[in-house]
Amino acid sequence: MPSWLLLLLVPFVVLNVVIGMVTYVTLLERKFAARMQSRIGPYRVGPHGLLQPIADALKLMMKEDIVPDAADRTVYNLAPIVFLIPCMLIFATIPFAPGLGVGDVNIGILFFLAVSAMEIVGLFMAGWGSNNKYALLSAMRAVNQIISYDLPFIFAALIPVLLTGSLKLGDIAAAQQGSLLKWFILYPVIGQLAFVMFIVSTLAAENRVPFDILEAESELVAGFRVEYSGMKFALIQLGEYAHMIGSSFLGALLFLGAWSGPGPEYLGPLWFLLKAMFVFLLVTWIRWSFVRIRVDQILALSWKALLPATLMLLISTAVVVVWRTGGF
Amino acid sequence: MTEQITFAALAIILVGSALAVVLSKNLFHAVLWLALALTGTAGVFLLLDAEFLAAVQLLLYAGGIITIVVFAIVVTERLIGERLTQTNMRIGGGALISLVLLGFIVNVLRKSPLPAARPEMSVDLTRVLGELVLTRYVLPFELLAVLMLAGMLGAIYFARPED
């Protein structure tokens, strides 16, 4: 196979697998949430509701596409695409097994963080372009929240980088192979604290409960996507879920040893997927257990607790790393 | 060849979006064009094998700075109570200044001949960058940190509640 064909084929496959995963992850979340609340969840379409995501996608495709009169047409129409692109690009640097991925570049984790920081542009375009006060309020809250939680997220993600000494995601995963004790979540004290901080800031970055002030149903209807319908709404949902899955993969890679697991080597991607789904379900579990907190509480939590804590942890990790490599 | 084509495409995007930033009347559109221009700059860095700079460009400029500018627009618009528009009254003077600047840059470039081919990169640029910043250039690095701290203290001073 010529190399340029491979260059096109791998991203194509990854992109489609991600889209397929998004459709079924929604079902997983609904089933999981239903079980938590002693319900059954989707059950009618197909065996055990397995065809429900397909039905949902068909329904969204057939819906009327409405553009509000007062909307800024270009910005409004472009917003879902601008929002979706970074959400899909984050999968570019994730290696799903040794050497299996779109491109395991040597600044992998930085690329992930940089691209996911771009999401705010699409989000704000949606909020502003709709020309709706709820959407604008939601976009403003999003800006607030993302400025506040970007730094703790980056610092928490940098701790495995410090422990490995490489920004390349493949290297970070390779450093955790061999035994269970090598997983960074089992690194004494630092690992557990970093994982908790990573999960908290991931929740905020994904705008999940308890940090979902920007789509707070009871006050802002649906936030920045209130005016969207049909496929544009579907694109925004797709982006959000793709971002969640991407963050879950990142969490599994940074702290849970990526593709390490028992059995032959070709089971690696499966273990990675299972770990990513574990992180996803952890986030879902939190989502369905907690209540939404106020805007000022969210900001206070970030600036007064999480940011100093992650900074302290980062500095202590640096000290530990230098001490263990005999730098003192 | 591909490099030239990519550069030409990036240049068109960059110049076009930069012009749109100053020429569009709608302030919010100007910010969006600015986001495109900054992303295009990251593309140029990527073309020059400076991946680290490209990622930082996206993270800080296209992600961070745009967020802050948007925030500033929304907050000031609410204070004034009307839509802000950008005026182009001094377009002649602006064009003159940018032409002079262009002439200056062209002049400098002509005096110092550039190498025909890019030197091959043999080391991990990101690692070298990190090492240099923490060894040889540690003083400017720390001074920058102090500058940032001063800026933050100033911002907090202005934002404090009136008593």
Question: B85-121 pLDDT, tens per residue?
Answer: 777 778 888 889 989 999 999 998 888 877 777 777 6
Reported as a pLDDT band with limits 50, 70 and 90, residue B84 is: low
Cα–Cα distance, A120 to A138 (Å, whole number): 12
A47 DSSP assignment = G
For residue A97, the cross-strand partners are: A100
Instruction: Kindly determine whether residue A106 and residue B51, on different chains, have CB atoms separated by under 8 Å.
Output: yes
* Nearest residue, CB atoms, A118 vs list B63, B68, B71: B63
Contact A75, A129 (CB under 8 A): yes
With b for 16 or more beta-carbon neighbours within 10 A and e for fewer, the A112-123 pattern comes to bbbbbbbbbbbb
Instruction: Kindly determine whether residue B74 and residue A115, on different chains, have CB atoms separated by under 8 Å.
Output: no
Calculate the alpha carbon distances from A232 to A55, A228, B4 in Å.
17, 6, 36
For residue B107, the cross-strand partners are: none
Q: Name the residue among A142, A137, A139, A89 with its Cα closest to residue A116.
A: A89
Q: Which chain A residue has the Cα nearest residue B27?
A: A128
Chain center to CA of A282: 12
Cα–Cα distance, A15 to A259 (Å, whole number): 20
Confidence (pTM) = 0.85
A306 contacts: CB under 8 Å, gap ≥ 6: A149, A152, A197, A200, A201
- Interface residue A143 vs chain B (CB under 8 A): yes
Residue with tokens 């379409």: A45
In a structure prediction context, what are the per-residue pLDDT tens digits for chain A, which is 328 residues long?
A: 567 777 788 888 888 888 888 888 888 888 888 888 888 888 888 788 888 888 888 888 888 888 888 778 888 888 899 889 888 888 888 888 777 777 777 788 888 888 888 888 888 888 888 877 888 888 888 877 887 888 888 898 889 888 888 888 888 888 888 777 778 877 788 888 889 999 888 888 777 777 777 776 677 777 777 788 888 888 888 888 888 899 899 988 888 887 877 777 778 788 888 888 999 988 888 888 888 888 888 888 888 888 999 999 999 988 888 888 876 6
pLDDT of residue B104: 92
pLDDT of residue B72: 79
B positions 48-67 inside 8 Å of A (CB)? 51-52, 55-59, 62-64, 66-67
Cα–Cα distance, A150 to A243 (Å, whole number): 14
CA atoms A94, A98, A104, A107: torsion sign:
positive
Structure tokens at A108: 């992998």
pLDDT of residue B142: 92
* Nearest residue, CB atoms, A111 vs list B29, B39, B55: B55
pLDDT of residue A119: 83
To 5 degrees, how large is the angle CA A173–CA A176–CA A181? 155
The radius of gyration of chain B's CA atoms, rounded to the nearest angstrom, is: 20
Structure tokens at A111: 């690329």
CA distance B59 to chain A (A): 4
3-state secondary structure of A253: helix
The ipTM assigned to this model is 0.79
Residue with tokens 């003159």: B96
Instruction: Kindly determine whether residue B67 and residue A105, on different chains, have CB atoms separated by under 8 Å.
Output: no
pLDDT of residue A325: 82
Structure tokens at A19: 């889209």
Is the predicted pLDDT of residue B137 greater than 60, yes or no?
A: yes
Q: Name the residue among A27, A22, A23 with its Cα closest to residue A49.
A: A27
Which helix H or strand E contains A152, and what residues bound it? Answer: helix A133-164
A182 DSSP assignment = G
Contact B68, A147 (CB under 8 A): yes
Number of C-beta neighbours around residue A228 at 10 A: 25
CA distance B52 to chain A (A): 7
- Interface residue B27 vs chain A (CB under 8 A): no
Number of C-beta neighbours around residue A127 at 10 A: 30
Structure tokens at B35: 């986001």
Helix boundaries (H) for chain B = 2-23, 27-47, 51-56, 66-80, 91-111, 125-134, 138-159
Question: A180-204 pLDDT, tens per residue?
Answer: 777 887 778 888 888 999 988 888 8
Contact A198, A153 (CB under 8 A): yes
Instruction: Kindly determine whether residue B70 and residue A110, on different chains, have CB atoms separated by under 8 Å.
Output: no
What percent of chain A has pLDDT above 90? 3
Provide, as residue numbers in chain A, all residues whose Cβ is less than 8 Å from the Cβ of B124: 106
Provide, as residue numbers in chain B, all residues whose Cβ is less than 8 Å from the Cβ of A120: 63, 66-67
Cα–Cα distance, A133 to A254 (Å, whole number): 39
